[in-house]
Structure 1
Amino acid sequence: MLSASQETGEPVRTLPQRGDVLVGKYRVDRVIGDGGMCIVYAAEHLQLEDWVAIKVLRTEWVDRPEVVERFLREGKTATRIRSEHVVRTFDVGTLDDGTPCLVMEYLVGSDLDALLTANGPLPVPAAVDYLLQAGEAIGEAHQLGIVHRDLKPANLFLTHRADGSPWIKVLDFGISKLAPRALALTGRDLALTGTHSIMGSPRYMSPEQMRSSMEVDHRADIWALGVILHELIAGQPPFDGETMPEICANILQSPAPPLTTLCPDVLPDMEAVVLRCLEKDPAKRFQNLGELAAALREFGTPAGRASAHRIMGIFQSGATMYGRTSGQMPESGPAWGSTDPTWRPGPRKRRSLVRTVGIALGSTAIVACGAITAMFALRHATPTSTSAAPAPSPVLSWEAQVAPSAPPTLTSAPTPSASIEPPPAASETASAASASASASASADAKKSKHGSAKARGAAAPTGASVPSSDSLQTPPRGSATAAPTSSESLFEERK
């Protein structure tokens, strides 16, 4: 905030006071955190009537560009980590005098440093659970190429979920180191972290971090987590001293004290995990948080084991999240848009791919079998009639047998009307045949007989109605008035 100097009358920067409205919409209520570089206020959103935490850079640091850059980096870094165990950053703004500020999630609870001061050491299962919850956030940060570099109990905040279960939130990524592979900020990183500068809290810094803050990698965070775990169980850090040089000398030269000397009831396996985190040679420590989580999972509660499995899943997937840089959307494909040519899908991704292909092939086979079965059934299906059809005539000629049949009808043959005259008697037909004496008449009669046979062979199919014809001298098929041909008539026709 700006106010006029009483001596010179020039405007000077002042810290916000209770009742001040920041960024045009947040009304300050009280101070909830005070550090060497920042002050944190509880404020109320005027429109939403919800509480937020506003972190403001102290006035004496505002004129130092590298400090301002590091302060703003905290907000950018936190938004890239999607874990629920990272405090959310909602907005980045500036006050009226140009002082930068971060609008963050408002948390109810206390940090682990205050908890240790108030209650003393924690039971081993609780300490392991808290560390593994923090490890979920740190593990994701490491996969993004982010090294926190300032892990300590004061930056692990204990709050509670709606069901009352404890929930750890990781705070303060202000001095986090961004790996060159993750962000093309090599020059800016060198400017923000000089070779001889000491960044972090001395009691939780690894030996290599004390020598050069610029050269550290994710194993420096594993060291810090080992120090935190030791302190949560024993009530004091493994390396301490009256002055900062003494603390640094102990970290660089003295071996890590066994945990069982302070807590005799701690299992040797638990002590071995802490001692491995505190190896002075980074190559002898756990090489990633997945290994540390696998070693700790048996010492926590079921909730802690679930956190351990989630951490292990991050590193067992074989994917890296490098490439999710500021201002870039994650690309589709492997490893959040990784450009690493050596990337290969991990075991879980391979199993998922095989399962997906198997399901697709199985579904295709089922559909194909169903289609083939349906086609076979349609091809071999026999049409049925709902009414009884008369038997086919036994005197069909060869032409009639091979001729295509008309489609069957579902109606029975109509009964001939009583007005239809009966066909001529068989005796009259025989007399007419014998009266023809000439050769030409006999030939005509034979042609007529052959034509009648063909006509009878080409009769309508079953169920069809055929009208009476005097030229054929046969009754309609299915007629109730048709009389059988006598043997005498057949004899005359054969003559």
Structure 2
Amino acid sequence: MAGNGEEALYGEELRPGALVGEWVVERVQVRGPVSALYRARHARTGVPAALKVLHPQVATAAVALRRFRREAATLQRLHHPHIVTVLGYGELSDGRPFIAMEWLEGQDLAAELATRGPLSPREVLAVLEQVGAALRVAHAAGVVHRDLKAQNVVRLAQGQGGPSVKLVDFGVAKGLVPGAPGSSSLTHTGVVLGTPLSMAPEQIRGQVPDARTDLYAVGVLLFQLLTGMPPFQGTTRHEVEQQHLHAPPPRPGEHAPVSAALDAVVLRCLRKEREDRYPDVDALLEDLRGAVLGGAAPVEVPRALGLYVQGRTTADPGPAGMEDLDAGLERASALALEAGLEVRVVGSACLLAVASLPDDVRRERELRARVLDVGLALTRGEAAASLAVTVHVDRLASDAASRSAPDAAASAWDDAGNEGGLLHLPAWVQDGGDGALVVTGAALRGLEADFVSSPVPGAKDRFWLSARR
């Protein structure tokens, strides 16, 4: 081995030139206690990547090995612009597993705080909007991060669309529901995982985490971004943990020019009992927007789900063709009602059914899945050649407009006086062809692993759905 240089390339630390799957190592970027992160390039395309490789001594531990593989499975499932993208994963010849991820040009928020100091409230809001969007997708998919901290949020180098951040390192993520990534028995009640500076009290006690565990960490991150320091500090892990468990959290306003409203948001996140925190990330973001902007900014959280069914006929369908079309629309109406939707618009060859989205993340996800199942049912079987279906999530227009004729609905205005929303059909209805089910990214978000989908060519954020997995 030493004669051909393989031992030098594939020792405990990989050397430049080592081939890892489809990627060639360029340099070691970060050496951690469990794994190392390398910068690499794809052997054929030259596209840069980040390779996370487990250390040899750790790879022999079954639990660590399974947890590492679980991180790869978790990240592959969570497709979102603000979550790092997995490019592939596998094992070296000696059994060490690796994950190849997109290379992020930028720096984590901890490094940014160290170089420039605290962020302004508006900057903090911009960051948290993106972190919150990533957490929304993870929680909807049944995954809690459990190690959200400044080091795991990377701000990308500024581009044409302005600065943005990505959430990384789901190494200790755990599933909230059976079948979700991390829902195995790898981590049990009584096992403490996470970073002491950001851990919620229930994590320290070894209790089962949920989405509100991440919201406590969001509170720690908010405090740190606003003041440049974490809310609780100590010389030992035990000292920090005891403060998380028992000490009243300080107000950011004690260390930075922060409003009382913003203090209140942070303190609610940092409450000891999870029942006293925000119920979900959307409720937190709504209060954060109000605290930073004085309530002037519109809340951009989707509010309703829409199912649009368009009947298709030939130029001269004849009586039999019209009867088939009517039967298809009647079936669509019945299935929509069974799924919990209300038929709000009915035309001679179309219908629109809508439902307000529940506040509970799990119920909201279940509703979207039911409606996607309805869409599949309508685009399969004998009626598939005459129906086209589109599913979308957006705000719902005013009740008066929603009960108007389809032509009027196509130009409806929402409650705020802005044209758009579910009732503005041209903005979201996709002509996918006969027998096609098209869903928007907002309707599919968090359900990608449950349905077989493919992008609609030439249509941004539109996907064809063909089956349940």
Scaled by the length of structure 1, the TM-score of the pair is: 0.61
1:71 to 68, 74, 81: 68
Tell whether the 8 Å contact from 2:139 to 2:361 is kept in structure 1 after alignment. no
| Shift, 1:171, TM fit | 0.2
In structure 2, the partner of 1:254 is 247
Q: Which residue is equivalent to 1:105?
A: 102
Q: Which runs of 5+ in 1 are unaligned?
A: 338-344, 364-495
SS in 1 for 2:226: helix
Equivalent residue number for residue 21 of structure 1: 19
CA deviations on 1:188-212 (whole Å, 9 max, x unpaired) are 33xx113322100011000011101
Residue equivalent to 2:300: 309
Choose which of 275, 280, 302 in structure 1 pairs with 2:267: 275
Does structure 1 conserve the Cα–Cα contact (< 8 Å) formed by 2:54 and 2:96? yes
Contact map agreement 2:26 2:41 (CA 8 A) in 1: yes
Percent of aligned pairs with the same amino acid:
30
For 2:107 and 2:253, the matched residues in 1 are separated by 28
Secondary structure of the residue aligned to 2:27 is: strand
The reply on whether 1:205 has 2:205 as its aligned counterpart is no
Q: Is the 8 A contact 1:293 1:311 kept in 2?
A: no
Indicate which of 406, 417, 433 corresponds to 1:359.
Answer: 406
Find the aligned partners of 2:371 and 2:149 in 1 and give their Cα distance.
Answer: 34
* 1:95-149 residue CA offsets vs partner (Å, 9 max, x unmatched): 1211110110011000001111111211121122112211100011111111000
Q: Which runs of 5+ in 2 are unaligned?
A: 306-354, 378-391, 411-469
Scaled by the length of structure 2, what TM-score is found? Answer: 0.64
SS at match of 2:278: coil
> What's 1:427 paired with?
none
Contact 2:17-2:25 within 8 A present in 1 as well:
yes
Paired letter, 2:17: G
Contact 1:226–1:277 (8 Å) recurs in 2: yes
Alpha carbons of structure 1 residues 334 and 229: separation in structure 2 relative to 1, 3 Å:
farther
- Identify the residue that residue 219 of structure 1 maps to in structure 2: 212
For 2:269 and 2:131, the matched residues in 1 are separated by 16
Question: What secondary structure does 1:154 align onto?
Answer: helix
Q: Distance in 2 between matches of 1:161 and 1:67?
A: 36
Q: How far is 1:358 from its partner?
A: 4.4
Instruction: Give the direction of change, closer, same or farther, for the CA distance of 1:254–1:116 in structure 2 (3 Å limit).
Output: same
Displacement of 1:349 in angstroms is 7.2
The DSSP-based 3-state class of the residue aligned with 1:333 is helix
Q: 1:351, 1:95 → 2: CA distance?
A: 58
Whether the 8 Å CA contact 1:127–1:229 is kept in 2: the answer is yes
Alpha-carbon distance between aligned partners in 1 of 2:217 and 2:376, rounded to the nearest angstrom: 28
Partner of 2:277: 285
Q: Secondary structure at the match of 2:223?
A: helix
Amino acid aligned to 1:241: G
- Corresponding letter in the other structure for 1:240: Q
Q: Assess if the C-alpha contact under 8 Å between 1:252 and 1:280 holds in 2.
A: yes
Pair member with larger Rg? 1
Q: Provide the residue aligned with 2:335 in structure 1.
A: none
3-state DSSP of counterpart to 1:71: helix
**Matched ranges for 1:473-488 at <5 A:** none
What's 1:333 paired with? 373
Higher mean displacement: 162-171 or 103-112: 162-171
Structure with greater helix share of residues: 1
Q: Is the 8 A contact 1:181 1:322 kept in 2?
A: no
Shift of 1:79: 1.9
TM superposition shift of 1:322: 8.1
Q: 3-state SS of the aligned residue for 1:104?
A: strand
1:52 is displaced (CA, Å) by: 1.0
2:258 aligned partner: 266
User: Are 1:136 and 2:130 counterparts?
Assistant: no
1:324-353 deviations in Å (ceiling 9; x for gaps): 99xxx999337999xxxxxxx99957989x
Matches of 1:56 and 1:197 in 2, distance apart? 24
- Paired letter, 1:199: L
SS in 1 for 2:300: helix
Contact 2:42–2:48 (CA under 8 A) maintained in structure 1 = yes
SS in structure 2 opposite 1:237? coil
Residue among 164, 185, 190 paired with 1:196: 190
Local SS of the residue matching 1:183? coil
Task: Give the secondary structure class of the aligned counterpart of 2:88.
Answer: strand
How many angstroms apart in 2 are the aligned matches of 1:229 and 1:362? 41
8 A contact 1:293–1:312 mirrored in 2: no
Kindly provide the CA deviation profile for residues 61-96 of structure 1, in whole angstroms up to 9, marking residues without a partner as x: 101111111111112111222220000001011112
Letter in 2 for 1:170: L
* More strand per residue: 2
Check conservation: 2:70, 2:182, Cα contact below 8 A: no
Specify which of 60, 63, 68 is matched with residue 57 of structure 2.
60
Q: Aligned-pair distance for 1:299?
A: 5.0
CA shift for structure 1 position 170: 0.1
Cα distance in 1, alignment partners of residues 238 and 275 from structure 2: 25
Q: RMSD value over aligned CA atoms?
A: 3.7
Pairwise CA distance, 1:15: 2.2
Alpha-carbon distance change, 232 to 347 in structure 1, aligned in 2, over 3 angstroms: closer
Q: For residues 71 and 357 of structure 1, do their structure 2 counterparts lie closer, same or farther at Cα, with a shift above 3 Å needed? A: farther
CA deviation map 1:143-177 (0-9, x unaligned): 11110000000000000353161110000111111
**Matches of 1:197 and 1:113, distance apart in 2:** 26
